[in-house]
């Protein structure tokens, strides 16, 4: 069976950056920056991304390109032994994440509809708090939106790498950047937005502490979609002539640039509305920000643009969650791509039912003191993803070692001194950072 491949370097960068760009870039990064000192957090985040995250992105892409296989097959080929179990954990985690990610994406689609209808105003009956609570607790409605989101993901992935993932990413990613630029420019023209701009861009290093360092390190890790196996899968479609370091840097810079644009959009907007940007997650996104938008000139269009952004970001990320599962079924089980996409998507939709109901009829059902949504999120974010990142660092840094350096450049080239520095980071600095993230997650 001939393996799919990227048709262009631009397509690869758009797709791989899209895998990293998700809801966390648009809603979590501005909150983290707002809660941890603004500019000081931004500087530390950039240091972590370039000094830590970039090395792991290269490592995952390298394993994928060396193996030309899905995460399970990749670990088997480059490391052998029991290492394929690590790839299997990544595939399993992708299903788990997509099953609750699609629920949140469904809420986002619903709010885009509300924004278009013009009903996202604090004066509506019951207010915005009641609107959100009624949506997530209504049973069928959020599930229909979640199913629609998963089906859209399936249809893109089923078309393959070149005709599906790459083509969609070439459309969605530039559109997302344009929307973000327009929204950020609009935010910066609001009265009072200048205070938010200086808060975000002017570092106050007296605000730095251990909590800020942990937050920046964790955000750098999770914002790049590390530890999941998606980058291994995307790397398996790369040409042997592509320069891993250069292309990985382009991906990381694009992902980081989008997070910064999101900060330039959200933080000045919050300041303009007389609020502090230290609230995050669904509470701010679905309850607070619509009220903020409604209080601003042109708020109706701002709300439409914002939720359209969220839908696009969610979709580019969900594609990379489904693809490792599909690649596993195609490579290891010899299932056709179309059947694999629908099978994996169906499993995600089945799991999404109890996840969504954990906000409504099954709210009282808990495991280990958490709702199913909370349990899935905790397992993925606190355990599986950091563990996966640690394992890729060990495989590349210690099992492959010098072989990784030899394979990092385009075929026939000799890697420069930067490759030695990269291997040092993967061997020593990256594992230390990931262990810190694991410990913080467990605590």
What's the CA gap between 288 and 185, in Å, rounded?
A: 21
Global pTM reads 0.94
Q: For residue 351, what are the domain limits?
A: 9-442
The domain spanning residue 45 has which CATH number? 1.10.4160.10
What's the CA gap between 28 and 11, in Å, rounded?
A: 26
Specify whether the CB–CB gap between 166 and 11 falls below 8 A: yes
What's the CA gap between 273 and 192, in Å, rounded?
A: 8
Under the banding of pLDDT at 50, 70 and 90, the label for residue 283 is: low
What's the CA gap between 248 and 241, in Å, rounded?
A: 14
What's the CA gap between 193 and 69, in Å, rounded?
A: 48
- Please report whether residue 113 resides in a domain: yes
Q: Which tens digit of pLDDT belongs to each residue from 22-60?
A: 888 888 888 889 888 889 999 999 999 998 899 999 999
- Please report whether residue 3 resides in a domain: no
Q: Is 242 left (phi over 0), alpha (psi -120 to 50) or beta?
A: beta
- Please report whether residue 1 resides in a domain: no
- Please report whether residue 428 resides in a domain: yes
Tokens linked to 80: 């052998």
- Please report whether residue 184 resides in a domain: yes
What's the CA gap between 79 and 88, in Å, rounded?
A: 14
Q: Based on the structure, what is the number of domains in the chain?
A: 1
What's the CA gap between 122 and 286, in Å, rounded?
A: 12
What's the CA gap between 153 and 321, in Å, rounded?
A: 9
Q: Which tens digit of pLDDT belongs to each residue from 320-375?
A: 999 999 999 999 999 999 999 999 999 999 999 999 999 987 888 888 888 999 99
- Please report whether residue 419 resides in a domain: yes
Q: What integer pLDDT is reported at residue 279 of this predicted model?
A: 56
- Please report whether residue 4 resides in a domain: no
Q: What are phi and psi of 47, to 5 degrees?
A: -60, -45
Whole-angstrom distance between the N-terminal and C-terminal Cα of the chain? Answer: 46
Give the number of residues written for the chain.
443
- The three-state secondary structure class of 367 is strand
Q: What integer pLDDT is reported at residue 127 of this predicted model?
A: 75
Indicate the burial class of 358 (C-beta count within 10 angstroms; 0-12, 13-18, 19 or more). buried
Kindly tell me if the per-residue pLDDT of 300 is higher than 80: yes
Report the candidate in 255, 249, 392, 261 with the shortest Cα–Cα distance to residue 320: 255
Cα 244 from chain centroid (whole Å): 20
Under the banding of pLDDT at 50, 70 and 90, the label for residue 121 is: confident
Q: What integer pLDDT is reported at residue 96 of this predicted model?
A: 96
- Please report whether residue 2 resides in a domain: no
């Amino acid at each position: 069976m001939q393996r799919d491949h990227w048709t262009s370097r631009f397509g690869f960068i758009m797709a791989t950056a899209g895998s990293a760009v998700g809801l966390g870039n648009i809603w979590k990064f501005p909150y983290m920056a707002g809660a941890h000192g603004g500019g000081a957090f931004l500087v530390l985040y950039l240091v972590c991304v370039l000094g830590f995250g970039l090395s792991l992105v290269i490592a995952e892409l390298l394993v994928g390109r060396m193996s030309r296989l899905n995460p399970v097959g990749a670990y088997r080929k480059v490391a052998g032994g029991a290492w394929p179990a690590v790839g299997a954990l990544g595939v399993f985690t992708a299903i788990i994440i997509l099953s609750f990610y699609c629920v949140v994406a469904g809420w986002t689609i619903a709010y885009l509809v509300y924004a278009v209808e013009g009903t996202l105003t604090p004066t509506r009956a019951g207010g915005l708090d009641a609107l959100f609570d009624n949506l997530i607790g209504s049973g069928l409605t959020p599930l229909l939106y979640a199913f629609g989101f998963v089906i859209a993901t399936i249809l893109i992935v089923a078309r393959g790498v070149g005709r599906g993932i790459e083509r969609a990413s070439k459309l969605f990613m530039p559109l997302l950047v344009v929307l973000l630029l327009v929204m950020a420019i609009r935010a910066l023209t609001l009265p009072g937005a200048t205070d938010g701009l200086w808060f975000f861009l002017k570092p106050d290093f007296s605000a730095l502490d251990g909590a800020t360092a942990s937050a920046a390190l964790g955000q750098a890790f999770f914002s790049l979609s590390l530890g999941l196996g998606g980058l291994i899968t995307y790397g398996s479609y790369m040409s042997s002539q592509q320069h891993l370091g250069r292309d990985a840097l382009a991906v990381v810079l694009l992902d980081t640039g989008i997070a910064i644009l999101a900060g330039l959009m959200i933080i000045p907007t919050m300041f303009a509305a007389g609020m502090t940007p230290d609230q995050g997650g669904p509470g701010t996104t679905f309850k607070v920000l619509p009220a903020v938008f409604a209080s601003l000139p042109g708020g109706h269009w701002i709300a439409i643009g914002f939720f359209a952004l969220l839908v696009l970001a969610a979709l580019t990320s969900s594609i990379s969650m489904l693809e490792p599962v599909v690649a596993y079924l195609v490579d290891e089980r010899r299932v056709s791509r179309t059947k694999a996409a629908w099978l994996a998507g169906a499993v995600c939709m089945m799991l999404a039912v109890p996840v969504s109901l954990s906000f409504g009829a099954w709210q009282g059902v808990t495991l280990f003191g958490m709702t199913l949504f909370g349990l899935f999120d905790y397992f993925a974010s606190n355990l599986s993803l950091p563990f996966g990142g640690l394992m890729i660092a060990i495989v590349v840094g210690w099992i492959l070692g010098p072989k990784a350096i030899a394979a990092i450049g385009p075929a026939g080239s000799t890697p420069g001194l930067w490759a030695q520095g990269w291997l040092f980071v993967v061997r020593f600095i990256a594992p230390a950072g990931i262990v810190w993230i694991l410990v913080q997650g467990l605590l």
